[in-house]
Amino acid sequence: MFKGSIVALITPFRNGRVDEDAYKSFIEWQIAEGTEGLVPVGTTGESPTLSHEEHKRVVEMCVEVANGRVPVIAGAGSNSTEEAVELTRHAKQAGADAALVVTPYYNKPTQAGMYAHFKAVHDAADIPIIIYNIPPRSVIDMSVETMARLAELPNIIGVKDATSDLNRPILTRIAAGKDFCQLSGEDGTAIPFLAAGGVGCISVTANIAPKLCSEMHRAWRERDIDRAMDIQDRLMPVHSAMFCESNPVPVKYAASLLGKCASDVRLPLVELTEPSKEKVRAALTKAGILS
């Protein structure tokens, strides 16, 4: 069900509120451009600064607009197990196809604590769950062994791997089996990750280059390796520019250049600096995304 170019959606804001019209229009554009899956309220969607009411509304809008055309993987994680359960249950109620649950940040649980956290969420909500393993933000790193144990639970179906460790998908495939859905969380390593056993990427860059990202993944699946590599090379400076400052500040500025939404972010994130704006604009222009 989950493969190819899956976008980690931005959440447009205007005057301090979620810009619902821009968000719905943005999702329609993503689907029209070939994006194969939608992830609302992840890191790129600024989930840390959305209220629970906003979080749930954004998920509901995404499911409504997608209308079954592409799968929706709703962000539902928290460093509070009780809160993660609540958000995962809501993802199920809203009609999402899966929930993306991050490893508990800040608390720094052990491997045993991570297992217990995910098992509690699994047992409380009847929906497919994708583990989000992102050590640079959560501080902790789920081991391959813990992930393989969790993969034995029927609704723990895969991982968004943002470790940048290309040994990891191979080791995970061996430990958890070929049916365990491995999605890259790093645009820059998407093609090597596919070669190592992955099936797709939950992408930041797809917000502003959805057609190119989807074409790259389709080329890979069709064994047109030269085409996939050409697109990867074309997009590599864009991937870099999207992280010149904290995500999602650069990608929201890029989206504003394309006329898709305002560049507004919520504190403690702030507007992109002028040198970074120049870097983003130059990368988009060089890639042919911005004329």
**286 noted as active-site residue:** no
Catalytic residue at 132? yes
Exactly one of 3, 132, 253, 279 is catalytic; name it: 132
In tens, the pLDDT along 149-175 reads 999 999 999 999 999 999 999 999 999
Mean pLDDT score, 114-129: 98
Cα–Cα dist 248/244, whole Å: 10
Q: What does the pLDDT look like over 59-84, one tens digit per residue?
A: 999 999 999 999 999 999 999 999 99
What per-residue confidence (pLDDT) applies to 62? 98
Q: How confident is the model at residue 119 (pLDDT cuts 50, 70, 90)?
A: very high
CATH of domain 4-244: 3.20.20.70
Annotated catalytic residue, options 92, 160, 277, 279: 160
- The angle subtended at Cα 210 by Cα 160 and Cα 192, nearest 5°, is 45
pLDDT, the chain, mean: 97
1: pLDDT strictly greater than 90: no
Q: Is 198 exposed, middle or buried (0-12, 13-18, 19+ CB in 10 A)?
A: buried
What pLDDT sits at residue 69?
98
In this predicted structure, the answer to whether residue 224 has a pLDDT above a threshold of 90 is yes
pLDDT digits (tens, 9 = 90+) for 260-282: 999 999 999 999 999 999 999 99
For residue 45, what pLDDT is reported? 98
Closest CA to 131 of 98, 92, 173: 98
Q: From 209, 111, 200, select the one nearest 159 (Cα to Cα).
A: 200
Output DSSP code: residue 205.
G
The predicted pLDDT at position 29 comes to 98
Q: Are 149 and 115 in contact (CB under 8 A)?
A: yes
Phi-psi region of 34 (alpha: psi -120 to 50; beta: other; left: phi over 0): left
Percent helix, strand and coil across the chain, each to the nearest 5 = 50, 15, 35
pTM (whole model) above 0.85: yes
| CA 162 – CA 154 distance, rounded (Å) | 23
